[in-house]
Amino acid sequence: MQIAKTIAEIRAFVAEARAGGKTVGLVPTMGALHVGHASLIDAAAGRCDYVVVSIFVNPTQFCPGEDFERYPRPFEKDVRLCEEHGAQAVFAPSPAEMYPRENLSWVTVEKLTAPLCGLSRPGHFRGVTTVCTKLFNIVGADVAFFGQKDAQQATVIRRMAADLNMPLEIVVCPTVREPDGLAVSSRNRYLSPQERKQAPVIYRALRRCAELVDAGRCDTAGIIEQMESVLQEVPALEVEYVSLVDAESLEPVDRVDGRVLAAIAGRLGSTRLIDNIVVDRAAK
Amino acid sequence: MQIAKTIAEIRAFVAEARAGGKTVGLVPTMGALHVGHASLIDAAAGRCDYVVVSIFVNPTQFCPGEDFERYPRPFEKDVRLCEEHGAQAVFAPSPAEMYPRENLSWVTVEKLTAPLCGLSRPGHFRGVTTVCTKLFNIVGADVAFFGQKDAQQATVIRRMAADLNMPLEIVVCPTVREPDGLAVSSRNRYLSPQERKQAPVIYRALRRCAELVDAGRCDTAGIIEQMESVLQEVPALEVEYVSLVDAESLEPVDRVDGRVLAAIAGRLGSTRLIDNIVVDRAAK
């Protein structure tokens, strides 16, 4: 396992792999790795000869008051997980390595970043797209892997790469869930035992949406109402949004027709949780 | 000479050159090539094995009411100039090839794009940085060449490449001038014979600045006053700005100390002209 703390080091590692004719995969993460990340590394290892996992808690994607400081950083454990799942390198730069001076240059994606999480997290996606651009430029990967759990992020990154002709492929891998349906997330560890028991209500609401669409319902307002009534089973959940949007444009839909993203965000105590599924009425 | 009209074509050409172990240089242009561009191609050919000149009149860097439609497009002549100066390929995509769908993704550079030309051309630099990012990603060059004539653009591009860890070097080449001092520009052809005779007043005002600094003057306000009095020799010149700014941050300076950019913009009839010099008091 090669560990690079600097940009020059990871570029040298990748150049060596390239010189050996290897294809290069990148799994960008903020560390605190779990089975969801492991599934991305597995996908990368199945697809590329040389897999780089970046571990960087990116300050520019946290909004004021968010959990940047307390975000978990179990580095040794993360490195072991990367190795076990077939990564060849970890790139773990410091904030000063990634932002050595005032950052004046930003990559922004319009429209797609406005709804859903964009409403409550101003500047978040700008931080994500900017750091991903930097990581893509640093690593020079052929393929980068993201999780469907962060559906809006995946959509935004895919559009950014296409619009800006970035010379790599974006692969989005399925959400990994706990046995009770809760989407695996680094932030789940913030939940108290009681909150952990309540959290799967989000996935149950999403399942209700899927069942209604399966049963032929397509009226967005009626479906959302039913999803909300599922969420009300846990009064402690402070719902941020329950949305049905076009899976590509992320614009609200009146009727479920084609690929529709059903997405929920909410807070349990101080922990913000998001989850989503894609329903595809046309495919049935 | 290889001519590519599509992204796939130029990528194939460059991949072939790379496979042959060649280094790749890029000279991004909007065509209407002149001796200024020729000097960039010369520099590229002296530095890189395989030189790509992109010719693309980029719609996203023109503001409403600017000369996008009438901007000259003498393609055959441009290709001959590229060939004569040692370029191996021309990349001349259509607007639809470069922007096949609504462009949602933009690269912006804060602060550096606000003063000087940023004041009168809102959105111009966003168009420049975005199309350069696209061209860099498409061509995958080792080095890209820009002219000092567009000093603010060069500063912005250099900062963008550094901030976003773009894997290429930015080289800025000296301004090429007509014998009477007028900076060579594609837009000079818009000038009437009378305006053409008047245009060198801009360079004379810049020379005045250099002479004053050489003579030990360092008070910005006094120097600008004298530059303005030179410009007043041509009442037809509608001055947009006469500025002395820090050559790196582009922030106004009270005193000339270190590397200072002296920059002028103005209109003669319908033609917008810009020019600049760098004075370096510390170097004397």
In B, residues 84-123, which contact A (CB 8 Å cutoff)? Answer: 101, 103-112
- Give the closest-approach CA distance of B156 to chain A in angstroms: 9
The three-state DSSP-derived secondary structure of A87-131 is: CCEEECCCHHHHCCCCCCEEEEECCCCCCCHHHHCCCHHHHHHHH
CB contact under 8 A, B164 and A7: no
User: Does residue A130 sit at the B interface (CB-CB below 8 Å)?
Assistant: yes
Query: Exposed/middle/buried for A122, CB within 10 Å: 0-12, 13-18, 19+?
Result: exposed
The stretch A206-234 carries a mean pLDDT of 97
**Residues A123-158: tens digit of each pLDDT:** 999 999 999 999 999 999 999 999 999 999 999 999
**Distance, CA of A135 to CA of A140 (rounded, Å):** 8
The stretch A16-45 carries a mean pLDDT of 98
Q: Which ipTM was obtained for this model?
A: 0.96
| pLDDT of A283 higher than 80 | no
Q: Chain A residues with CB inside 8 Å of B109's CB?
A: 104-106
**Distance, CA of B40 to CA of B118 (rounded, Å):** 24
CB contact under 8 A, A108 and B105: yes
Q: What is the third-level CATH fold of B2-173? A: Rossmann fold (3.40.50)
Cα–Cα nearest to B273, from B219, B244, B213, B231:
B231
The CA–CA distances, whole Å, from A71 to A31, A188, A189, A194, B213 equal 9, 11, 10, 21, 53
SS3 for B21?
A: coil
The stretch A175-189 carries a mean pLDDT of 97
DSSP secondary structure letters along B45-93: HHH-SEEEEEE---GGGSPTTSSTTTS---HHHHHHHHHHTT-SEEE--
| pLDDT of B224 higher than 90 | yes
Q: Which numeric CATH code is attached to A186-276?
A: 3.30.1300.10
The stretch B50-63 carries a mean pLDDT of 97
- The distance of Cα B215 from the centroid of its chain, to the nearest Å, equals 30
pLDDT band at B283 (very low <50, low <70, confident <90, very high): low
Q: Give the distance between the most distant pair of CA atoms in chain B.
A: 57
SS3 for B17?
A: helix
Is position A37 annotated as part of the catalytic site? yes
Sheet hosting strand B169-173, strand order edge to edge: B2-4, B89-91, B50-55, B24-29, B143-147, B169-173
Residue ranges per domain, chain A?
2-173, 186-276
- pTM of this prediction exceeds 0.95: yes
Question: What does the mean pLDDT of chain B come to?
Answer: 97
Select from A105, A109, A140 the Cβ nearest to the Cβ of B104: A109
The stretch B127-153 carries a mean pLDDT of 98
**Domain B186-277: CATH superfamily, name plus number:** Pantoate-beta-alanine ligase, C-terminal domain (3.30.1300.10)
CB contact under 8 A, B165 and A7: yes
**Residues B161-209: tens digit of each pLDDT:** 999 999 999 999 999 999 999 999 999 999 999 999 999 999 999 999 9
| pLDDT of A276 higher than 70 | yes
The set of residues, in sequence order, having a beta carbon less than 8 Å from that of B14 and lying 6+ positions away, is: B24, B50, B52, B89, B139, B140, B141
Q: Chain A residues with CB inside 8 Å of B104's CB?
A: 109-112, 159, 163
3-state helix, strand, coil in chain B (%, to 5): 40, 25, 35
User: Does residue B137 sit at the A interface (CB-CB below 8 Å)?
Assistant: yes
User: Does residue A131 sit at the B interface (CB-CB below 8 Å)?
Assistant: no
**Residues A215-226: tens digit of each pLDDT:** 999 999 999 999
The helix or strand, by DSSP H or E, that contains position A155, with its residue range, turns out to be helix A151-163
Q: Chain A residues with CB inside 8 Å of B140's CB?
A: 167
Residue B97: phi and psi, rounded to 5, are: -70, -40
| pLDDT of A115 higher than 80 | yes
